[in-house]
Amino acid sequence: MKQRKKQVKRGPAPQYTRKEPKGPRIIASAYTASAVRADQYPEGDTVEIAFLGRSNVGKSSLINSLCNHRGLALVSGQPGKTRTINFFSITSKEDISDTEELRYHWFLVDLPGYGFAKTDKGNRDIWSSFIADYILHSDRLMLLCLLIDGRHPELPIDQEAFKWLTESGVPLQIVVTKVDKLKSSERQRNMRRIKELFPTKTAPIAYSSLNHTGRELLLQRINTVIVGEEE
């Protein structure tokens, strides 16, 4: 008996599009300049988002994770090596519909880590004066991300830095690093503690450069600032 061929109804062909993350994302990043004085800052009116934290807090790793660019900022076992302000030119994009996207150009500013230079004198500055100069005088600085190690919420040097920054009036975002190293209960406890010790307008963002936890949240926050949607 001749077998009747089963008729197979085909649905629409699958769309082989590359799945992209939701929200704004960085599509280009490149080192642009290093500076220790104001006359070495890049010229123009490009807005800046700066990153600051204790040496070894995980700042370089976070910058590489955020930009999805391995090796952009140097990840180093030698804390305190980077002693200049480094500017990275960034292009980020945001889809506003299936056919329209917006692109933003900004500088990511990598500030030298503090808490490294030790002197015998009691009145040691927590960071070099050129970092303070930059924070106080850059009128293009829209947001400073202060990085706090998730394992060490209570370091006096971070609290000193926070106090100084709060008094300077710069808009702050606390980013809690290395959260993959914490057990869930410890992570919750430390996040709560950091929220108490470092009160800011927006909640601290938990970040892991190992698995990119927090990346979308931080990119969203940066985008809000760049677009000027914050009051």
Ligand X SMILES: Nc1nc2c(ncn2[C@@H]2O[C@H](COP(=O)(O)OP(=O)(O)O)[C@@H](O)[C@H]2O)c(=O)[nH]1
24 binds, among Mg ion, ligand X, none (CB under 5 to 8 A by kind): none
Q: Does 61 bind Mg ion (CB under 5 A)?
A: no
Among positions 57, 85, 111, 165, the unique one binding ligand X when judged by CB under 6 A: 57
In this structure, is the dihedral angle defined by the CA atoms of residues 25, 35, 207 and 223, taken in order, positive or negative?
A: negative
Q: Does 223 bind ligand X (CB under 6 A)?
A: no
Q: Does 59 bind ligand X (CB under 6 A)?
A: yes
Residue with tokens 């709560």: 192
Q: Which is nearer to ligand X, 190 or 209 (CB)?
A: 209
- CB 56, CB 65: distance < 8 Å: no
From the list 13-21, 137-145, 191-199, 206-214, the region that binds ligand X by CB under 6 A is 206-214
Let me know if 1 is exposed, middle or buried by CB neighbors in 10 A (0-12, 13-18, 19+).
exposed
Q: Does 55 bind ligand X (CB under 6 A)?
A: yes
Tokens standing for 172?
């702050």
Closest CA to 146 of 216, 106, 107, 194: 194
Q: Which residues would be at the binding site for ligand X (CB under 6 A)? A: 53, 55-61, 75-76, 79, 113, 177-178, 180-181, 208-210
Q: Which residues would be at the binding site for Mg ion (CB under 5 A)? A: 60
